[in-house]
Chains A and B, each alone.
Chain A
Amino acid sequence: MALVEIHNLRVRFETDEATIYAVNGIDLMVEPGQSIGIVGESGSGKSVSVTSIPRLLPRTARVEGSVYFNGKDMMRATASELQAIRGHQIGMIFQNPHAYLNPTRTIGKQLMEPLLFHHLAGVKRARAMGMEMLDRVGIVNPKARFDNYPFEFSGGMLQRVLIAMALITGPKLVIADEPTTALDVTVQAQILRLLKEMQRELGMSMIFVTHDLAVASQVSDVIYVMYGGIVVERLPAKQLIRVHRHPYLSGLLASLPRVDEPVGRLPFIPGLPVNTRQPLSGCPFYARCQWHLDQCQSAPPLTLVERDHEAACWLADERRVANGQPS
């Protein structure tokens, strides 16, 4: 049984001015111990999709579809059932650690919270576990750092604290929502290595959200590429460069700068991201796609093009297109 099963998830935000169609029907599966990466540009609905697993979206969000975690129907779970799962079985790591920590509470007090909220340990035991966890995520001298405040830490150190906080209860799933985006490159590499190590060590599943293809392929087994609130391609991370099918993913890969080639003008995907204020009709990439057909006015389904590899493109069929270009 899969740990996470999402089927036809749709999320929209209703405000007075407009309705935002953030997620337009996605399917997603995470096996125990598996690490999946969700890649997409801003506004593609990747964060919203994963935040709906522990049902942490704001009240304005209208969520439809089914979300199962560890066999539990999250859409029908009561507030106290959700509370029992959050922070205990699902750990979350956020993008900007400065914003996601209470500035007037010590690191240690916040670090102990998951244990105390779920009555997994008393204060004394929680304190010891917290220090041990800080040590494991590479905080030097955890004893002294325990009673420091967030503003006394650097961004990279805080992200380590956030990781410690998410993992302290030994969750079955950790959701990392762009955990390295706010960090500089060297720190980013350290954090990624740490996350990957901890994930293997504790045997957890991980959902890693990022806009960075390289990062996603480093830490995950399977990659979901999102565009316009749908999954346009799902493929094993190892095959990312070799066999991608969707023109959007091809465009993304082509626009990565390479250090081993002469410096020239970077290719980019022309056009603007999808307008999420209208319900999605047809292929979301239609307007920006150079290969688009009349057929693309109706939404292409996510179809299996080879083993473990799906793409949502009318041209994705192996006979007609390879690496996102018609043959």
Chain B
Amino acid sequence: MKFAVTVTLKKDVLDPQGKVVSQTLKNMGMNNLSQVRQGKFFEIDLKEKDSSKAHNQVKEMCEKLLVNQIIEDFKISKTE
């Protein structure tokens, strides 16, 4: 069972990389842009067959290692 986890900086945390990417895109002429936030992506493949158990395990992985919850938010979605 596969899950996708995206990790992004919380709204009130400065994201200098996102800012630089946003400014560069604007310089390239993409003026319709309001903001870019840069984050991380994890693809996690679990042996668990029960989808709710698997989801909880991925959540635990996020809380215990993958995410620093003081500065980051995460989203989990099932992909397969």
Q: Are A and B genuine complex partners?
A: no
Q: Which residues of A are in contact with B by a Cβ distance under 8 Å?
A: none
Taking Cβ atoms with an 8 Å cutoff, the residues of B that contact A are none
